[in-house]
């Protein structure tokens, strides 16, 4: 497909998602599981930026058994798109949301007795079964039943008419730290044993996320919940174990404007970047409103962390921040200079030959914070087949060879 056509479809910037990479990664993860273990593909947060609807279709067609999202709206989006696979809502809902969750046939997470009662009430109200998974608090301290609450509640719930107890799960806080993970796994295992000793059946037991499934194969149980690995990324500090994942993601933008500036020229808002020697600047249609150049800042954990943080800040002040934001043009890096704007950014291309308006730049961006308003262009072996517009509308890319009848063909018989 040529650039002009792609730009007419998607505008001057877009995120390319390669379907075969998502398929590959799903197969790799499935290959780590023993057959009875099912795979729940986590597609929360717009499939970590890849676009939930198409990612869901790809994963389901490649062998995912279940989908996982966080919010009711995320579940509804998938149902509206015609996806009928089971979907687990991995967060508690507010009581007002429950009827819609049930009419959309979404599996509920139950994290408290009052949540269980609200689910049963909503089920009676809408005349549907509430399919539920109990969530156990084992160490993340986010949501869940205390381990001691599980057995008494589950024993009662077995007999509630509108409720189907399908599963039980927990979530790891620090899957890569062996001690902490071990304590959580042991706690979960003990809850499961207690349930079994009381003959309470909860068929689908699961605790592993990406790190957990890599590091604790003995805890795959009935299902694992994988996100990060499916999108071609390795969780922080997890071992790669020789796994070959593929990156499905490329964020591209076309240069809108190029101009030359003299030494000493202040650049961008606040003029806080001053060019040292005469150079050429290129403007790209990407800014912080798109999620570009946003960094997560968390409190330094120890003195080492603090020192690293300070060193970075000082280097940035001196203009020697090697980890500064950069884009790739024709295979070469070019720094983003001046403050990143809301929707436009400036790139110093003085060291590159022949940079022109219209040229394609590859941009790095934190994926889950990449705006849903950036079009997603789905490709198969590099060939676009579907565009998700900023409105959310899906537009198939029809090639003349496959879809549309050309005039000659129309009149040939």
Ligand X SMILES: *Cc1c(COP(=O)(O)O)cnc(C)c1O
CB of 246 to ligand X, least distance (A): 16
Closest contact distance (angstroms) between CB of 170 and ligand X is 9
Q: Is 278 in a helix, a strand, or coil?
A: coil
Q: Is residue 171 part of the contact set for ligand X (CB under 6 A)?
A: yes
CB of 224 to ligand X, least distance (A): 9
Stretch of residues binding ligand X (CB under 6 A), selected from 112-120, 223-231, 356-364, 401-409: 223-231
Rounded distance between C-alpha atoms, residue 346 and residue 358, angstroms: 15
Whether 66 is catalytic is: no
Phi, psi of 83 (to 5 degrees): -80, 125
Select from 107, 209, 345, 359 the one that contacts ligand X (CB under 6 A). 209
Applying CB under 6 A, does 170 fall inside the site for ligand X?
A: no
Nearer to ligand X, 252 or 367 (CB): 367
Q: How many residues bind ligand X (CB under 6 A)?
A: 12
Number of Cβ within a 10 Å radius of residue 140: 13
CA-to-CA distance for 370 and 46, rounded, in angstroms? Answer: 10
Active site residue 378: no
Best CA proximity match to 374, nearest among 394, 389, 360: 389
Report in angstroms how near the CB of residue 30 gets to ligand X at its nearest: 14
Decide whether 223 or 281 has the Cβ nearer to ligand X. 223
Q: Does residue 227 belong to the site contacting ligand X (CB under 6 A)?
A: yes
At CA 247, angle to CA 245 and CA 252, rounded to 5?
175
Query: Based on CB atoms, which residue is closest to ligand X, 92 or 227?
Result: 227
Active-site option among 30, 44, 135, 252: 44
First to last CA, the chain: 30
Between 35 and 54, how does the x/- string for binding to ligand X read (CB under 6 A)?
A: -------x-x----------
Q: Which is nearer to ligand X, 175 or 374 (CB)?
A: 175
Q: Give residues 62-91 in contact with ligand X (rule: CB under 6 A).
A: 90
DSSP structure string for 208-268: --HHHHHH-GGG-TTEEEE-GGGGT-PPTT---TT------EEEEEE--EEEEE-TT-EES
Q: How far is the CB of 140 from ligand X (least distance, A)?
A: 9
Closest CA to 262 of 284, 273, 281, 278: 278
User: Is 235 among the residues that bind ligand X (CB under 6 A)?
Assistant: yes
| DSSP secondary structure code for residue 369 in this structure | G
Please, what's the b/e burial string for 67-90 (b: 16 or more CB within 10 A of its CB; e: otherwise)? Answer: bbbbebebbbbbeeeebeebbbbb
Nearer to ligand X by Cβ, of 144 and 375: the residue is 144
Binding site for ligand X (CB under 6 A): 42, 44, 90, 171, 209-211, 225-228, 235
- The residues assigned a catalytic role are 44, 269
């Amino acid at each position: 497909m040529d650039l002009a056509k792609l730009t007419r479809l998607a505008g001057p910037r877009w995120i390319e998602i390669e379907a075969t990479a998502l398929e590959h990664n799903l197969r790799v993860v499935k290959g780590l599981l023993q057959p009875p273990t099912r795979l729940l593909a986590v597609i929360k947060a717009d499939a970590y930026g890849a676009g939930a609807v198409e990612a869901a279709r790809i994963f389901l067609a490649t062998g995912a058994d279940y989908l996982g999202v966080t919010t009711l709206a995320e579940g509804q989006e998938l149902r509206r798109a015609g996806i009928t696979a089971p979907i687990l809502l991995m967060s508690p809902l507010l009581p007002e949301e429950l009827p819609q969750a049930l009419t959309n046939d979404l599996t509920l997470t139950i994290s408290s007795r009052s949540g269980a009662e609200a689910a049963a009430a909503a089920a009676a109200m809408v005349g549907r079964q509430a399919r539920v998974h109990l969530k156990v608090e084992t160490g993340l301290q986010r949501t869940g039943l205390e381990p001691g609450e599980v057995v008494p509640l589950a024993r009662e719930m077995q007999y509630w008419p509108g409720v189907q107890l399908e599963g039980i799960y927990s979530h790891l806080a620090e899957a890569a730290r062996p001690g902490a993970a071990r304590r959580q796994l042991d706690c979960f295992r003990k809850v499961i044993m207690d349930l079994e000793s009381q003959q309470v059946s909860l068929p689908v037991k699961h605790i592993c996320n990406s790190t957990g499934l890599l590091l604790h194969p003995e805890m795959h149980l009935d299902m694992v919940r994988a996100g990060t690995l499916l999108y071609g990324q390795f969780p922080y500090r997890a071992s790669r174990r020789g796994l070959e994942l593929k990156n499905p993601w490329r964020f591209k933008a076309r240069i809108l404007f190029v101009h030359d500036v003299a030494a000493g020229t202040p650049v961008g808002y606040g003029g806080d970047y001053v060019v040292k020697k005469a150079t050429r600047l290129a403007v790209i249609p990407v800014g912080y409103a798109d999620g570009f150049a946003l960094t997560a800042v968390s409190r330094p954990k120890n003195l080492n962390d603090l020192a690293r943080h300070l060193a970075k800040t000082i280097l940035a002040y001196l203009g020697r921040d090697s980890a500064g934001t950069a884009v790739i043009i024709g295979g070469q890096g070019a720094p983003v200079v001046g403050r990143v704007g809301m929707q436009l950014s400036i790139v110093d291309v003085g060291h590159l030959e022949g940079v022109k308006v219209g040229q394609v730049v590859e941009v790095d961006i934190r994926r889950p914070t990449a705006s849903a308003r950036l079009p997603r262009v789905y490709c198969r072996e590099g060939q676009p087949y579907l565009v998700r517009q900023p409105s959310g509308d899906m537009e198939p890319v029809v090639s003349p060879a496959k879809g549309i009848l050309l005039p000659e063909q129309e009149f040939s018989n």
